[in-house]
Amino acid sequence: MTFRSVLFGSLVAILGTASAVPTLAAGGPTGQERAEAAGKGLIGSPAPRMVLKTIDGQQIDLGSLYGKQAVYLKFWATWCVPCREQMPHFERTFESAGPDLAVIAINAGFNDSLEDVQTYRTKLGIKMPIVIDDGKLGEAFNLRVTPQHIIIGRDGRIQYVGHLANDQLDAALVAARTASPSGAATGNAAVAADAHEYKVGDRLPQLAVTTLDGQQFQFRSPQVKQRTVLVFLSPWCESYLATSRPGLAADCREMREKADALAGKLDARWLGVASGLWASRSELAAYRDQHKVTIPLTLDDSGELFRQFRVMTVPTVLVADEHGKIIRRLEGHAADAPSALEGAVGAARKL
């Protein structure tokens, strides 16, 4: 069975039943507009020099490619409809790349496990190297949508950021491969440092975020005498994944309902932290209004909070005690996560 026939069968199973764009707010930006906005500060700048590890254990040193090859990175996810639609184009590009272009598939590492990626690769017959991002690449390239195409010229500078597999992408690929590598960028682009990742047993960081309603939420403060509950979410999880990942969509819905119910009766501080992938403030506000969410919400548009707390799937809930020490972590794929939430927070009931 050919790659194209396998892909066609997969698309038939999902197209028409799931929106191609996970969005809630009417008239929101398109995928291409989001990608172009993400790339505004990147175009022309030196690409990060990072060492990647594929799911097969191979290492790819991006910095060693600059000055020799153009590089095409495509961020994608197994649950993403346009990613599947564009896969034939991506595969053809890889197969015809030649020695002057490196083509690498970057799984966004969001709501995808290694098993999910391996199964997807086998089903579609994908041959190009695949890397699962730990958040550093997404932060370095301002990941905002899937797919998000990054093209780095032979001079080591970022030349194109986009979402669609169209003539504009093809032209950028040609330009990146034909451009002279002379004057290759020698600067080292800013790369997310290996900052501390907060886990069970650690204390929450001393930082503050602004909620949708303009209030400041302090993660840890001497004045805080309550437990703190951080609910990591995506505003499109319940709707967009209802067909392709019904179990995950149900986890998102159940956690939202349980969190809202418990927030009204338990003595704890609550904050919903929304991923900035495929989400804007207006779309998060639409999600809040549609579902009548009562806990305060903030948009992690840079992905910094998701990365600091090593959140790779939604919903994920962290519970910290009165002193800011993280005492429990619950992830939505655990069948008992919604019911376990009350037990984790319930030690501080309202009188």
157 and 299 share one domain = no
Q: What residue type is 267 in one-letter code?
A: D
Q: Is residue 203 assigned to a domain?
A: no
Q: Is residue 57 part of a domain?
A: yes
Which pLDDT score is estimated for 348?
44
Same-domain status, 43 and 171: yes
Checking if the pLDDT of 351 tops 70, the result is no
Domain-terminating residue out of 156, 178, 200: 178
Write the CATH number for 40: 3.40.30.10
Whether the predicted pLDDT of 10 surpasses 50: no
pLDDT at 314 over 50: yes
Same structural domain, 54 and 152: yes
pLDDT digits (tens, 9 = 90+) for 104-149: 999 999 999 999 999 999 999 999 999 999 999 999 999 999 999 9
Answer yes or no: is 198 within a domain. Answer: no
- pLDDT value for 23: 67
Model confidence over 193-221: pLDDT tens digits?
Answer: 556 899 999 999 999 999 999 999 999 98
- 150 and 12 co-located in one domain: yes
Q: Is 276 found in the same domain as 143?
A: no
* pLDDT tens track for 152-168: 999 999 999 999 999 99
Residue 196 lies in a domain: no
Angle at 210 between CA 205 and CA 213, to 5 degrees: 145
| Residue 180: band (very low, low, confident or very high) from pLDDT cuts 50, 70, 90 | confident
**223 C-beta neighbours (distance < 10 Å), count:** 5
Both 126 and 25 in a single domain? yes
Answer yes or no: is pLDDT of 1 > 50. Answer: no
Flag whether 236 is in a domain: yes
- Three-class HEC string of the chain: CCHHHHHHHHHHHHECCECCCCCCCCCCCCHHHHHHHHHCCCCCCECCCCEEEECCCCEEEHHHHCCCCEEEEEEECCCCHHHHHHHHHHHHHHHCCCCCEEEEEEECCCCCCHHHHHHHHHHHCCCCCEEECCCHHHHHCCCCCCCEEEEECCCCEEEEEECCCCHHHHHHHHHHHHCCCCCCCCCCCCCCCCCCCCCCCCECCCCEEECCCCCEEECCCCCCCCEEEEEEECCCHHHHCCCCCHHHHHHHHHHHHHHHHHHCCECEEEEEEEECCCCCHHHHHHHHHHHCCCCCEEEECCCHHHHHCCCCCCCEEEEECCCCEEEEEEECCCCCHHHHHHHHHHHHECC
**Is residue 40 a part of any domain in this protein?**
yes
pLDDT value at residue 244: 85
pTM of the model: 0.88
**In Å, what is the CA distance from 194 to each residue of 135, 168, 198, 263, 307?**
11, 35, 12, 34, 10
CA 148 to chain centre: 11
Q: Which of 290, 189, 200, 195 is nearest to 236 (CA)?
A: 290
Contact between residue 76 and residue 106 where contact means Cβ atoms under 8 Å apart: yes
| C-alpha gyration radius of the chain | 21
Q: Are 90 and 166 in contact (CB under 8 A)?
A: no
Indicate the angle between helix axes 81-95 and 3-14, nearest 10 degrees: 170
For residue 321, is it within any domain?
yes
- Residue 193: per-residue pLDDT: 55
Residues 160 and 225 in one domain: no
Q: In whole angstroms, give the CA distance from residue 210 to residue 271.
A: 11
Burial 18-33 (b: 16+ CB within 10 A, else e): beebbbbbeebbebee
| Domain identity same for 160 and 213 | no
**pLDDT at residue 345, as a whole number:** 82
Sort strands 208-210 and 130-132 into parallel, antiparallel or unpaired: unpaired
Question: Domain tally for the chain?
Answer: 2
Domain stops at, among 159, 178, 197 = 178
Residues 233 and 159 in one domain: no
- Mean pLDDT to the nearest integer, 317-341: 84
In this structure, are residues 127 and 136 in contact, taking their beta carbons and an 8 Å threshold?
no
Does residue 194 fall inside a structural domain? no
For 24-64, the pLDDT digits (tens) are 666 678 999 999 999 999 999 999 999 999 999 999 999 99
Do residues 83 and 167 both lie within one domain?
Answer: yes
Print the domain residue range for 57.
3-178
* pLDDT higher than 80, residue 292: yes
Q: What are phi and psi of 64, to 5 degrees?
A: -75, -15
Over the chain, what is the mean pLDDT?
Answer: 88
Indicate if 222 and 143 belong to the same structural domain: no
Q: What is the mean pLDDT of residues 2-17?
A: 37
Domain boundary among 158, 178, 198: 178
5, pLDDT greater than 50: no
Residue 334 confidence (pLDDT): 66
Percent of the chain with pLDDT over 70: 85
Amino acid at 323: H
Residues 160 and 220 in one domain: no
Tell me the two tokens of residue 229: 């509950």
